[in-house]
Amino acid sequence: MTRVAILISGGGSNMVRLCESMAVDHPARPVLVLSDRPDAGGLDKARALGVSAQAVDRKAFSDRAGFEAKLMHALEAVSADVVCLAGFMRILSPAFADHWAGRMLNIHPSLLPKYPGLGTHARALEAGDLEAGCTVHLVTSVLDDGPILGQARVPVLDEDTPATLAERVLGMEHKLYPAVLRRFVQGDAAPLYLP
């Protein structure tokens, strides 16, 4: 049984979908949810699903190295095999990414390689894109880079604002991430394209 840890910073809706999917006929199980923010709404949602959850408060550390050492310790304490970043809003060091190379996934709300970084939906609207979407990829030392494991597309509508587009994309994130994780754990790294 593959042991999956999930890193979050906020509401954790992707984390919830990952945990729910692992609850049914799945080769992996969630062993820990970690947040860099003690006030992340996702922590209580994880606990309500019976998954242990803890905050590693970034603000309690004077530098990234100390913060990452604590994260690493927590992940090793539960013998995590795979780490899923799900709305985790911290940039991890190359050393951290290298340690988890091939075993750490991220979901990003754009059709990478378009729009790495923040503000993806506003940037897609400004560019006049006709479609948007989300990408699950393996994490490397380069931000929002790394081999693509899956992508899902949604149309951009004339009346879209960044908020309405984000909501439509998030709906696809909830489908894509669990589907990709299942395939990944089964050893299938061929990219999945939805719909």
Instruction: List residues binding ligand GRF (CB under 6 A).
Output: 8, 10-15, 86-87, 107-109, 170, 173
The catalytically annotated residue of 73, 99, 108, 121 is 108
Task: Return the bridge partners of 155, or none.
Answer: 131
Clarify whether 121 is annotated catalytic: no
Given the complex with ligand GRF, which of 8 and 80 has the nearer CB atom? Answer: 8
Smallest distance, Å, CB 39 to ligand GRF?
13
Minimum distance from CB of 115 to ligand GRF (Å)? Answer: 12
| Nearest residue to 73 via CA among 50, 56, 87 | 56
Whose CB is nearest to ligand GRF?
A: 87
* Total residue count of the chain as it appears in this document: 195
CB of 108 to ligand GRF, least distance (A): 6
Phi/psi region, residue 133 (left: phi>0; alpha: psi -120 to 50; beta: rest), is left
Spatial distance between the Cα atoms of 166 and 15, rounded to a whole number of angstroms = 17
- 14 or 140, CB closer to ligand GRF? 14
Closest to ligand GRF by CB, 58 or 108: 108
Task: State both tokens at 149.
Answer: 């494991």
Give the Cα-Cα-Cα angle 142, 147, 149 (nearest 5 degrees): 130
Smallest gap from residue 62 Cβ to ligand GRF (A): 26
What are the CA-CA distances from residue 37 to residues 16, 29, 105, 112 (Å)?
A: 17, 23, 20, 27
Nearer to ligand GRF, 69 or 166 (CB): 166
Catalytic residues: 108
